[in-house]
Structure 1
């Protein structure tokens, strides 16, 4: 999976960065958490402060485009983001994954 950042804007009013990006991949479409972890590694930010708002797969291609927001602190993120968006971007607990596999 390879991520290229198309546009990066700094939104000082909301204390966040806004990114438009493209992802090229092999095989199945990557999960939201996989994209978040790759963005966190690329930009050297904590994964908990990244909200991937939109991921759209391009028909017939192994490519998707997306939009993400990276906050400076968790308290501001909880003030600004809606509940469903926070829930969608939660990081799954490792214990929960192991229990569901058994």
Structure 2
């Protein structure tokens, strides 16, 4: 994987660098984590917030945009909470998947077990016609 910085702009007000880059790779598009790590090493930034990474059709290449901060404190002041969670989470998404499965199991409705209610609010245990 090779990263080429296309545009590099220093934003002194927000104490960050804004970088547009291209990633040349073999096989599938590299993970966001790998790109963040390599960009951090390349630019010397401590916190890399990867806004997007988009593959180029038909070419083993991807284009992206990142914001690079010198400190995590400044990044947390400026960036939205969900962006920080997306970029700084330690796991690989497994934790979120497990939570979703747990909610799905807990979310079963008791009405489904007893039978479904019709338009009049009556419950029927059999699926027959109740309009009778």
TM-score (norm 2): 0.66
The answer as to whether partners of 2:53 and 2:65 remain within 8 angstroms in 1 is yes
Paired residue for 2:44?
Answer: 44
Higher strand share: 1
Moved over 3 A (4+): none
User: For the aligned residues, what is the CA RMSD?
Assistant: 1.9
TM-score (norm 1): 0.84
Select the structure of larger CA radius of gyration. Answer: 2
Q: 5+ residue gaps in structure 2?
A: 95-132
Q: 5+ residue gaps in structure 1?
A: 97-102
CA distance, structure 1, for counterparts of residue 78 and residue 42 of structure 2: 24
Give the total of aligned pairs. 94
Deviation at 1:72, TM superposition (A): 2.1
Deviation at 1:91, TM superposition (A): 4.6
Secondary structure of the residue aligned to 2:27 is coil
